[in-house]
Amino acid sequence: MSSLRLGVNIDHVATVRNARGGHVPDPVRAAQEAVAAGADGITAHLREDRRHIRDADIAALKALPVPLNLEMAATDEMVGIALHTRPHAACLVPEKREERTTEGGLDIIGGRAHLAPRIATLSEAGIRVSLFVEPDEAVMEAAHALKAPVVELHTGSYCEAAVAGDAPRVARELDRIVRAAAHGAGLGLEIHAGHGLTLDSVGPVAAVPQIRELNIGHALIAEAIFVGLRQAVHDMRAAMDRARR
């Protein structure tokens, strides 16, 4: 296994399925295909509004012999579902019903009192907790204080700059990621990253030595429409491995 794991987020397979209210394409089949092509795990975001991944998807995905990273809001409802389903991991993410997609990292400084008991409950159940946060050194300190073993650095700002071709901003945002990863790893946190990554933008993030896992979904599923899911996973895996050479 590579030192850098690939978690494939299959949310948007469910987006296509839900478009017609039926059963195809099946997110579980997508997960099996992704793993067959080299994914190290599956990520699925059970949103409060169930706009894509649904509760039955999580139960079915859990039955697969692959690590399931359940992305979820830090609510009592979702903690209850996680305790019932027992995924390998739970990644706490901020959520607003009106958002098109995740818009930022979890407020783990202002939200400490709300998060601490939920992190403890999930951890005590043997679920590996990660916090989806901004790549910021002070945030790494807060994650460490909350006793979360893993942080996932939000790469959205870096990816937006990359898409815009704004080289100075790309450099600034990448430097934030590099600094946060080094600081967080120095505190003993396991460092993951994700959101918005594409074949074109993944390389510099994959090259950050402290990052142990990338979670990639939308761009990979979009590419799969043209080259097939196995090829899309293979290509992303290859881009990550090239960056680590």
Ligand X SMILES: CC(=O)[C@@H](O)[C@H](O)COP(=O)(O)O
Ligand Y SMILES: NCC(=O)COP(=O)(O)O
From the list 25, 58, 132, 174, which residue makes contact with ligand X (rule: CB under 6 A)?
A: 132
The CA R_g of the chain, rounded to the nearest whole Å, is 17
Return the residues of window 14-73 that contact ligand X according to CB under 6 A.
45, 47, 71
Q: How many residues does the chain have?
A: 245
Return the residues of window 30-49 that contact ligand Y according to CB under 6 A.
43
Return the residues of window 215-244 that contact ligand X according to CB under 6 A.
217
Instruction: By CB under 6 A, tell whether 9 contacts ligand X.
Output: yes
- Cβ neighbors of 187 (< 8 A, separation 6 or more) are 140, 141, 143, 144
Instruction: By CB under 6 A, tell whether 195 contacts ligand X.
Output: yes
Strands 89-92 and 68-72, sheet pairing = parallel
Per-residue tokens: 12: 């948007």
Q: Which amino acid is at 39?
A: A
Asked if residues 53 and 44 have their Cβ atoms less than 8 Å apart, the reply is: yes
| Of residues 46, 52, 50, the one with CA closest to residue 70 | 46
From the list 8, 68, 87, 102, which residue makes contact with ligand X (rule: CB under 6 A)?
A: 102
By annotation, the residues acting in catalysis are 45, 71, 195
Q: Tell me the binding residues for 3-amino-2-oxopropyl phosphate.
A: 9, 20, 196, 217-218
Which residues are near ligand X by CB under 6 A?
9, 11, 45, 47, 71, 93, 101-102, 132, 194-195, 217
Annotated binding site: 9, 11-12, 20, 47, 52, 101, 196, 217-218
